[in-house]
Structure 1
Amino acid sequence: MSEPTEPGRGGHGLPRLALILGGAAWLLALTGLLLFLSSRPVGTVDDLFLIVDVMVGLVYGAVATVVLLRRSHVVGYLAALTALGGGLSALGGGWRMFAESRGLTPGPLADTFGWAWVPGTLAMFLVVPWLVRERPLGRAWWGPATGGLIAAAALVASLAGNYAMLAGVLVVAVVFGFITAVAVEARRRTSPESEAVGLGWLGLGTLVLALSFVPLLLPVGTVPDWLTPALHLASQALFPVAILTVVLRQRLWGMELAVSRALLAGVLTAALAAIYLVAALLAGVLVPGQGIAQAVAAAAVVIAVGPTRLWFAARIRRLVYGVAHDPWRVAGSMGTRIGRGGTDEGLLTSLVESVGTALRLEAVSVRGADPAEPSTGSGHDPQAPVLAAWGLPTGDPVVVPLLSGDRTIGTLEATPRPGETLDATSRRALDELAAVVTAGLVLIRTADELTRTRRRLTDARLQERRVIRRELHDGLGPWLAGLRLGLQGVANTIGTDREGAVKMLRALQGELDQRIEDVRTIARTLLPPVLEELGLEPALSELVARHRRSGFDVHLRFAVASDLPGPVAAACYGIAAEAVLNAVRHSGAAECELEVSEDGAVVRVCCRDDGAGYRQDARIGVGTLSMRERAEELGGAVEVRDLAPHGTAVEATIPVRPPGMTRSVSQARSGAGGAASAAGTLRTAGTA
């Protein structure tokens, strides 16, 4: 769909016309300045007005060139009109002063000093503020139309030499200038944020430019003569900056490339130079004498204007770099957002938005990375998932790795605006702000891992309670009931059949010894002390010995060279214990093979028997489910399959270093593994 075109706005730039108009304005202004300097000025009020015209020609000539290079827009033509009018007025004034100093007749060219600046200057604050926007004007067309009529009436009055009529028109112009400034401020307050940025500067520039005409309407002698040109000079330096600020911040008219930071800094620097020049001329006029007196006056000017220079320097940095010149301020704001918390997605999106708006980027995004993988190069993976994004990138991003310790946990991708690159200042600010984004990402991942760990612990506890409840209800409870009946039988027969009662007591004692051993086995398997004290291999050896004492032979092969983390060792033990227990209870075999080996980055636990085999339609019991849960929570898997010609194989693979494992998370998982191990041992009633 094509973009709607508003009246006076073209879809492309006019480079040749832009250079001709801008060059002509500069040529007129510089020629007038050379003629002025050649006339040996003495610091009169006309001299100050001529300096104002020179600045208008130079500054607005640059603005017109910049706008028309990229877009054939009415604002560009009005800026060119202002520049040419200021340049022509400067040329006329310079020629008049030069001719008078040489005793020549100035002629008609000198008359342009009185009227050439009128239409463009008035159009600047009466028409342009209504047109600096991206959307069509709509019903607001009455604003620039009224401003254009006022500017035309002022030009006619100037050419006619009717100063009474000109004064009346200027009164109307000042009033309408105030109205225009109020309209800009109202637009700033009611527009969306993306369309309101920079309008405060534009409204201020409009107001100052309108106020600069007020001294012309006051009776002679009411205000100093130099006040009017000084206000004109200040306003003509502020207003173009206001225009460029809106264009730059709102990215109007496709001007991202044309409105460069260097141009904006140059305009403000020229304004500072103008202030120095005006102050020096005023010092020359107000301080009598020559030599030492003039030197003292110049020194006083430097001292007095010094704070102004510092004020301008701060504003230049803020306008040119945004808050990139003060990244700690942005980092503090981002830190406050981290402290306030919120949803994980909302927090990370808020952080990247802060980076984008602070550095005036086109787009910013954060991609995730596997912290378990070693850092290589920038760690940038274009296929990695995007965790948060702000803006829509149209170019190649600048990639900054997000490092936590010696691990790359993600990358920050910052895309400059079209035609721009990140200078050294912005790049340093990006690196510093990336550290805050890293802190936010670490916080989010830690919170997410904590939530998952807490959920696993809760599930393990619930499963453990279910199994213990079933064991108490279906195992220990019925046996105690049987013991009670047996003891009652002994009590009933001890008086009549003493020998039978003794036999019954011996049988009950044997059964009680077996139950005591079962309870001890359960206690040891909840979290075997040998597993914590000596490691996985001794714990498995104890498991093998225990089953051999009960008559089931387990052949253990252990081939793990490295020290396994606590959660991995606990998971391997729990899976091995559950697999052997299933073989004892359901395979019908007299023995099984248990192999635990390290294969690269994974540990394999395999239990094989030559029993009845595993039926594919068998119901998945609690034991099998628990083995799978243990492996999957550490990034592994469990497979149960039939063996030919008969038998069953249970094979589990678990990463040696599970993804995202830190010391604190490992300890939490260790606890989870212990709870899961307890649940596994108590599953004596589970099916394979």
Structure 2
Amino acid sequence: MSSVHAERRVKIGRGLFASTTALLGVAVALELHAGHYDTVVYPTISAALGVIGVVLTTRLPEHRISWVLAVTAFWGALGGLAFAYAYEALIVDPGSLPGGLAAAWLDNWWWLPGLALPPAALLLLMPDGHLASRRWWPVAAAVLAGTVLGSIAVSASPTFDLHAGTPIENPLARVGGVPVAAAGITGAILLAGGLLASLAAFIVRFRRSTDEERLQLRWVGLSLGVAVPLFLVGSLLWGVVPGAELLPAIAFLALPIGIAVAILKYRLYEIDLVINRSLVYGLMTVGIVAGYIAVVALVGSVLSSRGDFLLSAFVTGLVAVCFQPVRQRVQRFVNRLMYGERDDPYTAIAKLSRTLASSLQLDGVLANIVETIGETLALSYVGVALDAGNNTGLFEIAAEYGISGADSLTVPLIHQGAVLGELRFAPRPGERLRERDHRLISDLAPQVAAAAHALGLSRELQLARQRIVQLREEERRRIRRDLHDGLGPALAGLTFTLEAVRNLTGSDAERADALLVSATAQVQTMIGDVRRLIYGLRPPTLDQLGLAASLRGLAAQETTATTAVNVNTPASIPPLPAAVEVAAYWIAQEALTNVKRHARARSCSVRLAVESTILRLEIADNGAGLSNGSTGIGLHSMRERAAEVGGTCEIGVRTGGGTLVVASLPRLATEAVVG
């Protein structure tokens, strides 16, 4: 919008406010002259609405909502003047002012457009002054058509109500008839449907909104939470309780105030508690008033003979007794609506526990966890990021619920002192988590960490089973190959040799003897093959000599003129699992082979220590050490053998130079025996 056009709109807005002020001034003067001091509050409310309108038309002249509020204030001032003028002209001093009937006719129906059109327009146009989409145009058209038809029907009512003792007849009442009645019914249907659809449009836009737009709409929701209970209470008590007719007027002002704050100060948001309390006490107010009226109507018919005082005392006591439990129930309902189960930590933890207990598929555990936390605590995003491995310190998303935003918060997942990953979460757009919400999520994190740890163990177990099956099949294939390609043909050849010896025994003893010599050599070769097969399954020295002596035997084999290998073992070694003995033997052999081939070391030490739950094997040399990024087959083999029995094997640089291999293997805690 150009500056000239904007300035013109600002002037129009100020002129509209000046007209509103002038109309209100005349109306107040007439009210005071007539002695209607109790109705002066209505022009005051219109004046407040006019101030909101002029502020918005001055600061945001291009915004349609600014003009909706400004025109609404002007229309309210015009209606207030119509009532005051008609009362002065027809009741206080009949005939003193011209056009009294016309003013009474306007006062008879002006309220309907003033009550119907502004709320519908504000709900449809918030927060940017435009409809959410073209499909909402029929809603605006329905409200407008319903208002026009309803106003026609109301304007043709038989009398004018000017709060006087004698009603004043409407000259236009005879013009109505069936068409006007039909217009009234049609208008009421269109108006009711249009207002409900306007509210639905606001709710849809709120659910689809994000960031600042959602924050603006929350202020409108707050003002609705205040306005609706006040309007309903005022309508129910109209004419019953003195001053109750002021409540709908105040309610009508609540929505524009909330909208003005949303448009002008939309960055000042700390209204969760305000909305919560407004909903609670709004619902309580409506409930108590409705209950009061219902009890009065029900009990009054029975106890009317006992006097109004007894009836009022009974109803007051009943309401007082019921208020606190009802308030608590309403409070829990509103808290659950706004915060999910954050205000009930036991429920949140119980739901998560049930989710963990009912998750049958391992792959779906984390997905069920984040979904449960997200839905239970009413969060927009929940994610579990676990350690990616490879000692990178990075976390990868394992499961997530909702859409991640830039303002995600994190809680570390720690189990038994180890950081497994992070629990990431984000509140709904425009919402800020309270301190107790953070504490609840921190209390849920250990359960998530335990589930992640259990899931990791399950996956490791599955991988271990797969590795065992693969190793078993590889070992079977090797044995089958050795038997099929080596021992099997050798036995077949030996059979043929022995058959030949048998055939030559009587005719050629010298030839038969040569064949027996050959058969003996074949048998010796087969014996060596069988020993090799057995040795591949488990080194026989472990059964014959024990682990300590076997290690000393390896050291003796690898000792050369340039490299001395020393072995230090306990005097007694407790019984060890067979798999642990084999793993320690092969790790030591592989480490000593690497020392001999690559280290160029002058000395190497092998140390075996038995701890309470661990068998620790250390091989240290003073050679060249490991090169950066060393990933040889031998290094991988040592780590894999340790992992197969549930242990670890760390290979690194030795202090002072050289290589240090430390294997920690689990053992059974039994009494030591001589090894």
Scaled by the length of structure 1, the TM-score of the pair is 0.54
Shift in Å, 1:371:
10
Separation in 2 of the partners of 1:90 and 1:307?
43
Separation in 2 of the partners of 1:368 and 1:297?
61
Q: Taking CA–CA contacts closer than 8 Å with sequence separation of 6 or more, which of the two structures ends up with the larger relative contact order?
A: 1
Which residue of structure 1 lines up, in the alignment, with residue 586 of structure 2?
574
1:428-475 per-residue CA deviation (whole Å, 9 max, x = no partner) reads 442344345335423432333233223322332232233223322333
1:222-276 per-residue CA deviation (whole Å, 9 max, x = no partner) reads x99879x999989x999999x99xxxxxx99996863721221232244224544
Change (3 A) 1:463 1:505: closer
**Structure 1: stretches of 5+ with no match in the other structure:** 1-16, 25-38, 94-106, 217-222, 245-250, 374-380, 532-537, 610-619, 640-649, 658-662, 668-688
1:29-53 per-residue CA deviation (whole Å, 9 max, x = no partner) reads xxxxxxxxxx9x9xxxx9xxx99x9
**1:521 maps to 2:535:** yes
Change (3 A) 1:293 1:629: closer
Separation in 1 of the partners of 2:413 and 2:204?
39
Change (3 A) 1:522 1:297: closer
Identical-residue share of aligned pairs (%): 21
- 2:332 aligned residue (314, 321, 341): 314
**1:143 maps to 2:157:** no
Change (3 A) 1:295 1:121: same
Shift in Å, 1:638:
8.5
Which residue of structure 2 lines up, in the alignment, with residue 392 of structure 1?
404
Which structure 2 residues correspond to residues 523-672 of structure 1 after superposition, within 5 A? 523-525=537-539, 539=547, 541-542=549-550, 544-545=552-553, 556-558=565-567, 571-577=583-589, 595=606, 630=641, 656=664
Q: Letter of the aligned partner of 1:545 in structure 2?
A: G
Q: Letter of the aligned partner of 1:456 in structure 2?
A: R
Conserved in 2, the CA contact under 8 Å of 1:362 and 1:391? Answer: yes
Separation in 1 of the partners of 2:202 and 2:580?
60
Separation in 2 of the partners of 1:514 and 1:387?
53
* 82-91 or 468-477: bigger deviation: 82-91
**1:174 maps to 2:174:** no
Change (3 A) 1:73 1:185: same
Conserved in 2, the CA contact under 8 Å of 1:486 and 1:508? Answer: no
**1:123 maps to 2:95:** no
Separation in 2 of the partners of 1:76 and 1:88?
19
SS at match of 1:324: coil
Which residue of structure 2 lines up, in the alignment, with residue 448 of structure 1?
459
Q: Larger C-alpha radius of gyration, 1 or 2?
A: 2
Change (3 A) 1:337 1:273: same
Q: Letter of the aligned partner of 2:455 in structure 1?
A: I
Change (3 A) 1:364 1:512: closer
Shift in Å, 1:423:
1.9
Separation in 2 of the partners of 1:372 and 1:550?
34
Separation in 1 of the partners of 2:368 and 2:252?
33
Which structure 2 residues correspond to residues 66-465 of structure 1 after superposition, within 5 A? 118-123=112-117, 126-127=120-121, 130-131=124-125, 136-148=132-144, 150-151=146-147, 161=160, 171-180=185-194, 183=197, 258=269, 260-271=271-282, 272-273=284-285, 275-276=287-288, 289=307, 294-303=312-321, 308-327=326-345, 329=347, 339-340=358-359, 344=363, 347-349=365-367, 351-369=369-387, 383-389=394-400, 390-395=402-407, 397-416=408-427, 420-465=431-476
1:416-437 per-residue CA deviation (whole Å, 9 max, x = no partner) reads 4566432244234423443453
SS at match of 1:258: coil
Q: Letter of the aligned partner of 1:123 in structure 2?
A: L
Change (3 A) 1:450 1:113: farther
SS at match of 1:392: coil
Separation in 2 of the partners of 1:486 and 1:361?
84
Separation in 2 of the partners of 1:452 and 1:513?
37
Shift in Å, 1:299:
0.1
Which residue of structure 1 lines up, in the alignment, with residue 627 of structure 2?
none
Shift in Å, 1:517:
4.2
1:507-528 per-residue CA deviation (whole Å, 9 max, x = no partner) reads 5665565455445434433995
Conserved in 1, the CA contact under 8 Å of 2:558 and 2:593? Answer: no
Shift in Å, 1:382:
8.9
Which residue of structure 1 lines up, in the alignment, with residue 492 of structure 2?
481
* 499-508 or 386-395: bigger deviation: 499-508
Scaled by the length of structure 2, the TM-score of the pair is 0.55
Separation in 2 of the partners of 1:526 and 1:186?
83
Which residue of structure 1 lines up, in the alignment, with residue 92 of structure 2?
none
Shift in Å, 1:541:
3.4
Number of aligned positions between the proteins: 541
Conserved in 2, the CA contact under 8 Å of 1:123 and 1:151? Answer: yes
Change (3 A) 1:474 1:545: farther
Separation in 2 of the partners of 1:189 and 1:420?
17
**Structure 2: stretches of 5+ with no match in the other structure:** 1-13, 22-35, 84-96, 161-169, 624-631, 653-657, 669-675
Conserved in 2, the CA contact under 8 Å of 1:81 and 1:120? Answer: no
Shift in Å, 1:298:
1.0
Which residue of structure 2 lines up, in the alignment, with residue 3 of structure 1?
none
Conserved in 1, the CA contact under 8 Å of 2:348 and 2:377? Answer: no
Change (3 A) 1:448 1:593: same
Q: Letter of the aligned partner of 1:136 in structure 2?
A: A
Conserved in 1, the CA contact under 8 Å of 2:564 and 2:604? Answer: yes
Change (3 A) 1:488 1:632: same
Conserved in 1, the CA contact under 8 Å of 2:388 and 2:396? Answer: no
Change (3 A) 1:402 1:359: same
Shift in Å, 1:175:
0.9
